[in-house]
Amino acid sequence: MVLNYLIRLFMFQTLITIKDVYQQAEKLSKSEKLIKVGGWVKSSRESKEKKFIILNDGSTMNALQIIISRKNFLQLGLLEKINFGSGLLVSGRLVLTPGRQQSCELEVEKIELVNSTDNNYPLQKKNIPLGIVRNFPHLRAKTNYFLAVFRLRHSISKAIHEFFHQEGFYYAPTPIITSGDAEGAGETFTIHAKKEDFFNKEAKLTVSGQLQAESLAQGLGKVYTFAPCFRAEQSNTTRHLAEFWMVEPEMAFADLDVITNLAEKMVKWVVNFVLTNNYPELEHLEKHTQKELINRLRRLTKESWEKVDYSKCIEILIKNKENFILRDIKWGIDLQSEHEKYLCQYFNNKPIFIINYPQELKAFYMKNNPDGRTAACFDLIFPQVGELIGGSVREDNYQTLIGKTQRKKLNLENLSWYLNLRKYGYVPTAGFGLGLERLIMYISGAENIRDTISFPRYFKHSDF
């Protein structure tokens, strides 16, 4: 046991990631010392003289080929124990292989089998259908598909933080637990502690951090949240989660034009970041799931997106109503996803901002337009995933806001702190909410939103 411990100490000191192996291949191939990598067996094949193992450690999409020459390999019986999914530590010499698919490979001197997989391992084979892998959220990171999607998620998150930082926004936490009113955004989860009145009032899981973010923008000027939100909706679709992450910027002295421009700039920034930093992941996804993924993303960053009035959209839909299942189209209806899809196609299959929806369709806090019937708001609709972002200017007139609050039958007392902001040096703000997983769906080409988050929560699913 002590020996084992000493071996480990030695081992940790010299480990190098496969990403670093590829980046420093030239130098490492000339090294006198053995190089050591650790990872999991992704596949293997045999010839008379040699065994080839593809090893990945999660640091990069590119796995490393390990070559064992049977003649020189002294660890008798070990190779037979190494199976698909085994965790290995491997020491050897790096050999450059210019012209081949991978630019280098490792000729093995010593292997430590850290742990093999037992007979009950559910992901024994390569290329197991997604539908089966989905049953094992705690093992999904062992498959190449999810390694690609989760690495994209990392980059998308990082790009969002960087974007807002360079735009002068402050990252601010808004509360997850709240006794505030749900502003009609959907069903909520309530929270209980053993001590019954842990909180004075009924406490719920937040559906949006926007109202709180607005109050922070009244001092910090520009803020954004990046936090989980919750909806207790039973919808069992490929586009909804009970627990998802929202990004909600809020900006003082902004109007609809400023905030829609910000949304467009943000999405393009994120897509550019991913195109620059995650080409291997995108290539993998394009090859295995969605054709033309990379070209679609490239095109997106170059187009400029239309801003179309809701009223104009209704005109277009009425003129083309034979295309729809729901044909009773008139000013005031909520657009269905078939309508949104059609509108994207109508405008050259690009994302569109639909702006100035009827007040009655939208939340109480959205600013009334001077026309008396629309609100200064927008939805950003993407051809593939539907609504990606929704936002608005916020109603700054105290009396108007009170009226809107009452018309929606919301609890004035619970909202009084929010309403009163209008009396304390209030300046107009605008903001939006981005559903992070929707954006990941769009960028990764994932067909099911449950594949974009490591432990998806939805109706009947809270395990692990």
Residues 59-78 touching a copy of itself, rule: CB under 8 A, are 59
Between 13 and 101, whose beta carbon lies closer to a copy of itself?
13
Q: Is 412 helix (H, G, I), strand (E, B) or coil?
A: helix
Under the criterion CB under 8 A, does residue 356 sit at the interface with a copy of itself? Answer: no
Residue 375 to residue 214: CA distance in whole angstroms: 18
Within 8 A by CB and 6+ apart from 350, the residues are 303, 305, 306, 344, 383
Least distance from a copy of itself to the Cβ atom of residue 378, Å:
16
CB 372 within 8 A of CB 404: no
Residue 24 within binding range of a copy of itself, rule CB under 8 A = no
CA 393/CA 398 separation, integer angstroms: 14
Q: Which of 32, 196, 328, 463 binds a copy of itself (CB under 8 A)?
A: 463
Take residue 148 and report the two structure tokens written for it.
């690609």
Q: Which residue has the tokens 């899809």?
A: 341
* Contact pattern for a copy of itself over residues 229 through 258, marking x by CB under 8 A: -x-x-x-------xx-x------xxxx-xx
**Quick one: which of 70, 72, 102, 141 contacts a copy of itself (CB under 8 A)?**
141
Q: Which of 110, 134, 321, 461 binds a copy of itself (CB under 8 A)?
A: 461
Number of Cβ within a 10 Å radius of residue 234 = 11
Site size with a copy of itself, rule: CB under 8 A: 117
Q: Indicate the SS3 state at residue 204.
A: strand
Q: Residue 314 or residue 440: which is nearer to a copy of itself going by CB?
A: 440
Which region, judged by CB under 8 A, interacts with a copy of itself, from 26-34, 143-151, 314-322, 332-340? 143-151
79 sits near a copy of itself (criterion: CB under 8 A) = no
Token pair 């973010």 in the structure block, residue: 213
Q: Candidates 37-45, 262-270, 305-313, 340-348: pick the segment binding a copy of itself (CB under 8 A).
A: 37-45
**Spatial separation of the C-alpha atoms in residues 385 and 351, rounded to whole Å:** 10
Query: Would you say 112 or 303 has its CB closer to a copy of itself?
Result: 112
Task: Report residue 199 CA to chain centroid gap.
Answer: 32
Tell which one of 203, 274, 293, 354 touches a copy of itself (CB under 8 A).
203
Cα pseudo-dihedral 65, 71, 77, 80, rounded to 10: 40
Q: Which stretch binds a copy of itself (CB under 8 A): 96-104, 162-170, 310-318, 404-412?
A: 162-170
Q: Which is nearer to a copy of itself, 205 or 381 (CB)?
A: 205
- Smallest CA-to-CA distance from 112 within 144, 78, 142, 136 is with 78
Q: Coil, helix or strand for 299?
A: helix
Rank residues 47 and 190 by Cβ distance to a copy of itself and give the closer one.
Answer: 190
Minimum distance from CB of 344 to a copy of itself (Å)? 28
Full DSSP string of 3-68:
HHHHHHHHHHHHB--HHHHHHTHHHHHT-SS-EEEEEEEEEEEE-SSEEEEEEE-SS-SS-EEEEE
Considering only residues 398 to 427 of the shown chain, the ones binding a copy of itself according to CB under 8 A are 417-418, 420-427
Compare residues 258 and 318 and give the one whose CB is closer to a copy of itself. 258
Closer Cβ to a copy of itself, 295 or 462, answer by number: 462
> Does 87 contact a copy of itself by CB under 8 A?
yes
153 touches a copy of itself (CB under 8 A): yes
- The minimum distance between CB 122 and a copy of itself, in angstroms, equals 8
Are the C-beta atoms of residues 431 and 263 closer than 8 Å to each other?
no
Residue number, 204 or 296, with CB nearest to a copy of itself: 204
Residues 6+ apart with CB under 8 A from 189: 204, 205, 230, 232, 242
Q: Residue 199, interface with a copy of itself (CB under 8 A)? A: yes
**Would you state the torsion angle of the CA atoms of residues 181, 185, 186, 188, taken in this order, to the nearest 10 degrees?**
-40
Closest of 73, 65, 141 to residue 105, by C-alpha: 65
Give the nearer residue to a copy of itself in terms of CB position, either 249 or 383.
249
Convert 335-346 to b/e letters by CB count within 10 Å (16 or more is b).
beeebbbbbbeb
Using rule CB under 8 A, residue 201 touches a copy of itself: yes
Q: Which of 178, 208, 356, 359 binds a copy of itself (CB under 8 A)?
A: 178
Stretch that binds a copy of itself, among 72-80, 112-120, 294-302, 316-324 (CB under 8 A): 112-120
Closer to a copy of itself by Cβ: residue 36 or 339: 36
